[in-house]
Amino acid sequence: MEKRIRIGVDVGGTFTDFVLVDEDRDLIYTGKQLTTPDDPSVAIMEGVARILKEAGTGASAVHSIVHGMTLVTNTIIERTGAKVGLITTEGMRDTLEMGKEIRYDLYDLFLELPPALVPRRLRRVVRERMASDGEVLTPFDANGFRTEVRDLIEVEKVEAIAVCFMHSYRNPDHERQAKTILIEEFPAIPYTISSEVAPEIREFERASTACANAYVQPRMQSYLERLEAELRREGVTGALYVMLSGGGITTVESARAFPIRLIESGPAAGAMAASYYSSLTNSENLISFDMGGTTAKMCLIDEGAPDRKHDFEAGRVRRFQKGSGLPLKVSVVDMIEIGAGGGSLANVDGMGLLKVGPRSAGSNPGPVCYGLGGADPAVTDSDLYLGYLNPDYFLGGEMKLDMGIVERAIEDKVAKPLGLSVLEAAIGIHNVVNENMAAATRMHLAEKGRDPRRYDMIAFGGAGPVHADGLARLLKLKRLIVPLGAGVTSALGFLVAAPAIEYVRSYVARMEQIDWAHLNEIFDEMETEARALLADAGARDDEITITRTSAMRHVGQGFEIASPVPGGELGPDSLDSIREAFFDSYQTLFERTVRDVAIEAISWRMSASAPVPNIELRFSGQTEAAAASSSSSLKGQRQVYFPETGFTDCNVYDRYVLRPGDSFPGPAVIEERESTTVIGPNATITVDKFLNLICELP
């Protein structure tokens, strides 16, 4: 296999992380830059230039860059997207506000609904109509469509157009005619066709997804074009790829057309990295814990793969309240994300209670200890005060942390209002954020019916290894894994994720009434599109793996479950295997089967993926340390606070000097450039052959 140099870039709320994999030398280089929120490409370009310099590699040698970001979700949450015009079927103008006609809180008289992305005056209708079986009931009024588009563009000055016609998932002909008009007569305006972005049944969700895609399209297109241009200007001629919310990797062209599929792009990388380490450490079931500067993400890895779902809510009015956000038909890694990061701010609320998060100091000004103007104490400030962080070795010593201003900030903002000492206030901040994360993880496990005793935990992110021991003990877990380079593990996830794409088509039919010719045509069309896209991403046709599933249910049920579908040509002979696969899936979820009720399929889904890249986990920092020193990994001791002991002398280890087979007891602090691992008393830490820390907890 060709040896390549690849770079992963993860844009977070506080830091932008970088991983460079040099396959020729089997070396991994890592780096961090403070994120530049106004223009993320600034930090990206600075970080790419720096990591190339550290690796001694020219820009032209880079084979590819894989990128993930939170730009899409931030645009929707902050409502900073484009002015969008929606054109829909006559009589369907108010679909976005009618929704499902379900209140997410029955007893709230002042219920707040998420505002529609497209106001009513920018929603227009045209004459056309499809039946649910795809028959044309009313021909498409092309002239009426032209008139409405022209008015939206010239009079209302919209920046993007979304088109969503009734039952276009079954027959997209009218939407394709509309697309042709947009391309030929209005080429400068970005557009979204619902049958392309979400070809699935249920009008409200499809319309919402089309509008959300159009809403973020201009901003994402501009950002990706600018980033590509800047990379070319700096001599990087390799391809730029983007991570999808479901954990696959796609091309920039696809990302420009369907940016809504990137809404969970950044967080998905951490889940893919956790899946990779699951196989390395023989831990099939893992709780992936990724805590950065702004948020903490928890995801379940079962049998080596993350859970995925095909419905997502963005911009929820109430963070954990289902139904309070904008419904989107996109595939995402199933995880929870809460406002608990190193930059999460502590404050005393009106009732005199200590609160931590969800507000974050971000990268500007950052926590107080950064000395960049932050005034309110953050989680990182309490971690510094409690001895978990070394003020002289943050980011490997590049950023000095100021203990003096931290103590004053905690005293003024938290300790005095609560009548506590500075130490008690710092302990409170640390404990509150750990309890918040533990509560969210318990809820996620309970909702999915999972037993936490089946799971180990893998911790990464800049702040994850600092808090992982406390979180794991709250969840009563017994095994904790911390990979080398934990501070940038999410960025590594971009480079160990397989190039993959997923397509779905709705075709509602009872099992005994399936039109097999039509179903085969659906799968053939999806497979052709998928193979073409993966070929653009550099995959060989003979190495692409195709997986099929269907969303199925018993007739009369209100929801569906995913069930496997066999490959190859389908026909009446396939019926028994499809039906038995559904019964198996139903049994797994509900521990029962109902064989005397008819089954119907709602949607048919196809996933295509190329092989996962094989990476040798040799980090440059560890290699340099081994070459420079044969001394002990013990750097010294410092006073560190633990609930069991109070402040106590604690051994501090150099992560880069640790060798496979090394073992030592807790309490211990293990330092590396991008993160610090803190393990409490009565634990045993062992270094495995991949240089992961395997921590056995009491």
191-193 vs 160-164, strand pairing mode: parallel
545 beta partners: 609
Contact between 78 and 22 under an 8 Å Cβ cutoff? The reply is no
Amino acid at 508: V
Q: Locate the domains of the chain by residue range.
A: 5-76+222-246, 79-216, 500-609, 620-696
What confidence tens digit (pLDDT) does each residue in 323-361 have? 888 899 998 888 888 888 888 899 988 888 898 878 888
Kindly write down the DSSP assignment for every residue of 399-425, as one continuous string: B---HHHHHHHHIIIIIHHHT--HHHH
> How far is it, in rounded angstroms, from Cα 505 to Cα 548?
12
Residue 467: how many CA atoms within 13 Å on its side-chain side?
34
The overall longest dimension of the chain from CA atoms, in Å, is 81
What confidence tens digit (pLDDT) does each residue in 288-321 have? 999 988 888 899 998 888 888 888 888 777 766 7
Candidates 206, 200, 307, 221; CA nearest to 264 is 307
Contact between 548 and 566 under an 8 Å Cβ cutoff? The reply is yes
pLDDT confidence band for 487 (50 / 70 / 90) = confident
Domain 5-76+222-246 has what CATH class? alpha beta
Give the 3-state secondary structure percentages of the chain, helix then strand then coil, rounded to 5.
35, 25, 35
| Verdict on whether the full-model pTM lies above 0.75 | yes
What confidence tens digit (pLDDT) does each residue in 364-377 have? 788 888 888 888 89
pLDDT confidence band for 625 (50 / 70 / 90) = low
What confidence tens digit (pLDDT) does each residue in 594-618 have? 888 999 999 999 999 888 766 666 6
Q: What is the pLDDT of residue 631?
A: 62
